[in-house]
Amino acid sequence: MLIASTRGGLLIATFAVVGWLSPMTAWAHRFGGPHDPCERRVGASLVHITLYQPQFDPDAEYCDVVPRSGNTVIVVDVLGDDLRRVPIGLQVVASGESHAPLTILRVEPKVYRRGVADAQVVLSGKAQYVAQVVIENRAQGEVLSFPIRVTAWYRMLIVPALIVIALVSLTAISVARYYWFASHQNSFAPLLDRGGAGSRNAARTPKTARGMR
């Protein structure tokens, strides 16, 4: 019973770790909902940003975290006819401890009838980045900011790996305790039997003594 329940808990935790890893390694989605960090709503339209690093993984899509430094493709998708009629621009601002914020990419605003704009930029793990989508649909325009971080891919595995190690350790401890109690229960069984027999003999002794009197 204990082993079965432990295996069940380990299986559930494994699925949870897989669920943890999936969104971290690749954000394979477009317009994921109101809690999507790569999505912004502008009136009745939606703006979504997707990052690609095709030189490392041509199929992976990322959101606010990319796993490696290097050439990165930024794609801006617009859902809704309103924003497809106004100029949209894109810029990426880098900031770090050693320098002031610096614009490393600037795409001048223009109308994208198909609702898709893209550009390439080189990202480094030594800086923090903000992708800014500039929408000129008002007198002063509107800027949508999307933070971007470069985090080594193996760092994304640290927390899930610690969870797996903890679960394996708990499973091993539970199994060891189960077998320890089982083995000691078997070794104590003869002593318990002798103790029970002695108690039964002691209970009979007063009756025998009264019979002799």
DSSP assignment of 102-152 equals EEEEEEEEEE-TTSEEEEEEEE-TTSEEEEEEEE-SSSS-EEEEEEEEE--
Percentage of the chain exceeding pLDDT 70: 64
Q: What is the CATH number of domain 31-151?
A: 2.60.40.1930
Please write the tens of the pLDDT for every residue from 114-139: 999 999 999 998 899 999 999 987 66
Instruction: State yes or no: pLDDT of 151 exceeds 80.
Output: yes
Residue scoring higher pLDDT (84 or 21): 84
Query: H or E element: which one contains 98?
Result: none
Tell me what pLDDT residue 186 has: 61
Torsion, Cα of 164, 170, 172, 173 (10° steps): 160
Average pLDDT over residues 30-49: 82
pLDDT higher than threshold 70 for residue 85: yes
What is the per-residue pLDDT for 10?
A: 47
pTM of the model: 0.59
Report the mean per-residue pLDDT for the chain: 76
Nearest in space to 118 (alpha carbons), one of 93, 138, 88, 85? 88
Cα(43)–Cα(137) distance, rounded to whole angstroms? 11
Q: Residue 34: what pLDDT?
A: 65
Domain boundaries along the sequence of the chain: 1-25+154-213, 31-151
Does the pLDDT value for residue 76 go beyond 90? yes
* pLDDT of 27 over the 60 cut: no
Cα–Cα nearest to 94, from 128, 143, 63: 128
User: Is pLDDT at 12 greater than 80 in this prediction?
Assistant: no
